Structure 1
Amino acid sequence: MNSRRECEFFLLRYVPDPVRNEFVHVGVILREVSGPVAAVRFTSDWRRVRCLDPEADTGMLEGLESELRRRFQQEPKGNLMHVLEDSFSNSVQMTRAKAYLAESVETGVEELMRMYVEPLKRERVSRVSGRAAIQAQMRTEFERAGVWDLLRKRIAASQYTRPGDPLRIDLGYRPNGLIRMFQAVSLEAASGTGLSSGLETAKALAFSAPGLIAGVERVEKAALELTAVIEPLRQGIGNREQGTGKRQRPVGEEEFELDSERLAAYRFAVETMEERRIRVLTTADLGRVAETARRELRV
């Protein structure tokens, strides 16, 4: 039996209103009591945060995760409260240290995330879908490539277009003289029951793209490659009734049965974005995209 390491852990709470003192656990910090090894992990599912505070800036919370990791690399035993106070005042609070025995810091932080932070199993019955699902896949692939903390998050378009522009781009980074930005655009609604919302999202990004591209070239003196990440198109499989001899859909397999109208809507969304110099990729391409980022960022 492997001996466990003596560690201590802290829970990070998002507290939008300190007076009411309502909170949601958003992350875990775990470190060895005697040793430099430490780990920081935040949730990638912000639904409970948004239920508590619909105006929550999750991009800033993700930025805090990256900042804490950077501080740990510099000062494994540093004062973490200074980071929280400087970044978020009282909106993110850290609990007092609690003792914990872990096989390793990495496995320990996973256990603590399941115990305190991640939604309960019954809350996961409804599958994460739409933009949230694409964003989760983006984070997974960029984390796997080891570049997540090096990416800019929630990039305000207003710094490149004009004040008041509400658009925020999910992710971006700058390799050499090129800036790459990635935006999750869900066409699930365009290929499902809600035909219009997926198209509206694609058209809104297409409308914004020329101004954003020109603004980046003006401000950053660099070309912008703007990429929309969408769901793959899964053709329908026709009549699935028993006894027809047709292929049955396996349990858990996600497929959109697209009639001609929905298929046309999906293609219209893709073509509309491409016409405005937006590169369109699917979630199936994210592994390759993340590997390119790893090479370009020299990780």
Structure 2
Amino acid sequence: MPDRIQCEFFLIRYVPDVVKGEFTNIGVVLREVNSPASREPNTVVRFTRDWSRVRCMDADADVGLLESLESEIAERLLLGAADTKPVMQLLEDALSNSVQITEARASLAVNMTAELEQLMRMYVEPLKVKQERRKSGRAAIAEVMRDEFERARVWGLMRKRIAASTYTRPGDPMKIDCGYRAVQGGLIRMFQAVSLEGDVEAAKSLAWSAPQLREGVERVENARLELTAVVEAVKKGKEEEVESAERYRFGVEAMEREQIRVVTLSDLARVAETARLELRV
């Protein structure tokens, strides 16, 4: 049997009403303890992807803000990796009372990733009473995209739901799923899940926005933008899918005309590995 890794974990809780004290767990921080002196301890962070319990407790909850905390926590833990307690104290001081962090609990892990997933199932994710409906379209693409970036250990370092209005003009409602700035080279990469199975309006919208985004990133960030659309693979072989294939080609061509890089789900492992190298993880 392989040696188990000594760890400690913290639960991140959303507390909409501090007086009542009601809460729901929204994330887990898992950290290796007693790591060799030759390297810094491994730390992983994950938040829920199902915000139904948060919305049930607080219909006005700012889910976008809560999602952004995952990256903030990951970055602060990375910067303060040498000592956990001061880092956790820093988080408690910085976050409002509506987001709280529990005391550390001990854990033994064979594998950090597997242990994190187990802790998420035990403490965070809601029980599935009915069989979960299979996600499709853009939601399915976005989930696979996140999975691959998490597997490459870069998801926590990426920006999420990037407001296009930062680079285009006030009032632009578009949000880009995620992105990062390469450590070297003056390059920013952004990624958007685009489903071409039924409606190509999202592809047209992204294509229309691409020149303004590119110009805005160069102006605001002094960097070059590479915009990537992640799409499903085209379906082939059935006569009834000819029209769907034509829409698919139209969407791809519309985006490529505006210099948007188009990749399919099968390309994501390579994309995530590139991100790992460019972020020097």
TM-score, normalising length: structure 2: 0.80
Indicate how the Cα distance of structure 1 residues 265 and 7 shifts in structure 2: closer, same or farther if over 3 A, else same.
Answer: closer
Shift of 1:289: 1.0
* Alignment correspondent of 1:284: 266
Conservation of the 8 A alpha-carbon contact between 2:11 and 2:29: yes
Conservation of the 8 A alpha-carbon contact between 1:40 and 1:68: no
Shift of 1:34: 6.6
Identity of aligned residues (%): 52
* Alignment correspondent of 2:234: 233
Matched residue count: 270
* Amino acid in structure 1 at the alignment position of 2:249: R
- 1:235-292, CA deviations, whole angstroms, 9 ceiling, x for partnerless residues? 2557xxxxxxxxxxxxxxxxxxx53332222222222222222111111111111122
* Alignment correspondent of 2:244: 262
* Amino acid in structure 1 at the alignment position of 2:227: L
What are the ranges of 5 or more consecutive residues in structure 1 without an aligned counterpart?
Answer: 191-197, 239-257
* Amino acid in structure 1 at the alignment position of 2:96: S
1:181-220 mapped onto 2 (5 Å cutoff): 181-188=190-197, 190=198, 198-220=199-221
Conservation of the 8 A alpha-carbon contact between 1:28 and 1:42: yes
- 1:54-77, CA deviations, whole angstroms, 9 ceiling, x for partnerless residues? 741154133234235325513223
Conservation of the 8 A alpha-carbon contact between 2:161 and 2:176: yes
CA RMSD of aligned residues (A): 3.1
Indicate how the Cα distance of structure 1 residues 50 and 273 shifts in structure 2: closer, same or farther if over 3 A, else same.
Answer: farther
* Alignment correspondent of 1:60: 68
Considering only CA atoms, is the larger Rg found in Structure 1 or Structure 2?
1
* Amino acid in structure 1 at the alignment position of 2:159: R
1:1-299 mapped onto 2 (5 Å cutoff): 8-16=8-16, 18=18, 23-31=23-31, 37=41, 39-43=43-47, 45-48=49-52, 51-52=55-56, 53=59, 55-57=62-64, 58-71=66-79, 73-86=81-94, 88-98=95-105, 100-104=106-110, 106=112, 107-122=114-129, 125-175=132-182, 176-188=185-197, 190=198, 198-237=199-238, 259-299=241-281
User: CA–CA distance in 2 between the matches of 1:143 and 1:84?
Assistant: 25
What are the ranges of 5 or more consecutive residues in structure 2 without an aligned counterpart?
Answer: none
Indicate how the Cα distance of structure 1 residues 10 and 56 shifts in structure 2: closer, same or farther if over 3 A, else same.
Answer: same
Indicate how the Cα distance of structure 1 residues 266 and 26 shifts in structure 2: closer, same or farther if over 3 A, else same.
Answer: same
TM-score, normalising length: structure 1: 0.75
Indicate how the Cα distance of structure 1 residues 277 and 135 shifts in structure 2: closer, same or farther if over 3 A, else same.
Answer: same
Secondary structure of residue in 2 paired with 1:162: coil
* Amino acid in structure 2 at the alignment position of 1:184: A
Shift of 1:212: 0.8
Conservation of the 8 A alpha-carbon contact between 1:230 and 1:280: yes
